[in-house]
């Protein structure tokens, strides 16, 4: 069974187990309080569709990483200066270019991709989901699909999925106006940055429902966005809105990432929620976050050559934000949440008057 189909084969679970979900939802008043329920993100993975041998989507093979590219650009047997080799390559990482590649970089040839129909259209370059849904917008599949770092076999993909345990990277969803987690024509989804690490069992490996999340309504204003949505057969879907996700990596580097026209499709249950977050990721934000969070040395473990990936993202960009002027590319994340009880700070706390409007640029978030 293919990797992607295996993961999302659970779609049948939503419709087939509707009655079971209904009983749990209606019989769990302790979870829904005052017509609201909260969830904290426990997993976020790039939704790249691939096959075990990669031949379907990557007939020309997997792309080279920084080390492999360096050997091609600067073969042994010739003397080079530090400036024209290492410094030039590192400079291009931090100040990326869209000039032609000096080495080969292959886009994914897959016609299948995870994601959502972000623009409501079915175009010639759109994908089909593993379940057969047409019009999927996920050009990041094309740009990243043949990069080892983002494939299902990547060590980095799962080894560093614990980053949501970091104190800064706490994403909280609050569903309000909730009458039922099975069918509800009108609910509101609001994002926040939480201030408490998700609760786990004694091993630290399993996330437990029922924890508490204090909301950062003062310093986390830029992370507050509101989405109108509905629930049908236990599946929450929302309209699009801009969203800034708190993002920090090793060494406490902070590089928040903006996602434009973000939509959610989640299987919502009393104790957890899981599904897709899809939108258009700001390319300069991604480049900054990638380089701040992981050095070239560490990115080489996943054969992730940032300058080449940046070119591929720019080449396949399919959105430009009117406010920031930044290019963006359609994408999807596989996300998981665990239920939490939300606690608001006492007293008067400044709120974000433009909840769904992201910061204009990185400087605005400093």
DSSP secondary structure letter of residue 213: E
pLDDT in tens, 224-236: 999 999 999 999 9
Distance CA 265, CA 146 (A): 26
DSSP secondary structure letter of residue 87: I
Q: Which of 235, 255, 237 is nearest to 246 (CA)?
A: 255
Mean pLDDT rounded to a whole number for the chain? 83
278 burial type by CB count under 10 A (0-12 exposed, 13-18 middle, 19+ buried): buried
More confident residue, 69 or 163: 69
How far is the first Cα of the chain from the last one, in angstroms, to the nearest whole number? 46
Ranges 131-140, 151-160, 270-279, 316-325: which has the least confidence: 151-160
3-17, 97-111, 312-326: which has the highest mean pLDDT? 312-326
What's the token pair of residue 14?
A: 């939503």
Give the CA angle between residues 183, 188, 194 to the nearest 5°: 120
Ranges 115-119, 271-275, 306-310, 352-356: which has the least confidence: 352-356
pLDDT in tens, 97-147: 888 888 889 999 999 999 999 999 999 999 999 999 999 999 999 999 999
CB 108 within 8 A of CB 71: no
Strand partners, 276: 265, 334
CB 156 within 8 A of CB 149: yes
Q: Is 26 helix (H, G, I), strand (E, B) or coil?
A: helix
- Average pLDDT score over residue span 261-290: 95
Half-sphere exposure (CA, 13 Å, Cβ side) for 255? 17
Is the four-CA dihedral 173, 176, 180, 185 of positive or negative sign?
A: negative
CB 141 within 8 A of CB 49: yes
What's the token pair of residue 201?
A: 């069992």
Q: In the structure, what pLDDT confidence band is assigned to residue 184 with cuts at 50, 70 and 90?
A: very high
174: left (phi over 0), alpha (psi -120 to 50) or beta: beta
Between strands 319-320 and 327-343, the pairing is antiparallel
pLDDT at 251: 54
Sequence-separated (6 or more) residues with CB below 8 Å from residue 94: 291
């Amino acid at each position: 069974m293919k990797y992607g189909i295996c993961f999302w084969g659970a779609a049948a679970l939503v419709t087939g187990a509707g009655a079971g979900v209904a009983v749990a939802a209606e019989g769990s008043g302790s979870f829904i309080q005052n017509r609201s329920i909260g969830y904290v993100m426990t997993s976020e993975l790039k939704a790249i569709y691939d096959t075990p041998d990669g031949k379907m989507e990557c007939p020309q093979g997997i792309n080279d990483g920084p080390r492999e590219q360096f050997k091609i650009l600067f073969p042994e047997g010739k003397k080079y200066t530090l400036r024209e080799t290492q410094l030039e390559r590192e400079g291009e990482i931090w100040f990326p270019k869209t000039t032609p590649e000096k080495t080969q970089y292959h886009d994914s040839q897959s016609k299948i991709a995870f994601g959502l129909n972000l623009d409501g259209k079915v175009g010639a370059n759109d994908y089909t989901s593993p379940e057969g849904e047409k019009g999927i917008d996920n050009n990041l599949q094309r740009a990243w699909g043949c990069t080892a770092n983002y494939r299902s076999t990547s060590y980095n993909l799962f080894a560093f999925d614990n980053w949501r345990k970091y104190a800064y990277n706490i994403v909280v969803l609050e569903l309000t106006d909730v009458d039922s987690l099975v069918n509800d024509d009108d609910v509101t989804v609001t994002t926040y940055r939480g201030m408490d690490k998700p609760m786990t069992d004694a091993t630290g490996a399993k996330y437990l429902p029922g924890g508490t999340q204090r909301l950062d309504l003062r310093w986390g204003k830029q992370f507050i966005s509101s989405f109108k949505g509905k629930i049908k057969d236990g599946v929450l879907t929302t309209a699009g809105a801009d969203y800034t996700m708190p993002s920090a990596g090793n060494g406490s580097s902070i590089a928040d990432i903006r996602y434009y026209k973000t939509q959610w499709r989640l299987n919502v249950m009393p104790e957890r929620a899981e599904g897709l977050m899809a939108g258009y990721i700001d390319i300069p934000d991604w480049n900054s976050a990638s380089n701040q969070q992981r050095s070239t040395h560490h990115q080489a473990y996943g054969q992730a050559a940032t300058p080449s990936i940046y070119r591929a993202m720019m080449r396949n960009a399919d959105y430009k934000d009117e406010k920031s002027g930044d290019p963006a590319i359609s994408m999807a994340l596989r996300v998981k949440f665990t239920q939490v009880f939300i606690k608001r700070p006492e007293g008067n706390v400044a709120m974000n008057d433009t909840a769904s409007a992201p910061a204009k640029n990185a400087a605005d978030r400093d």
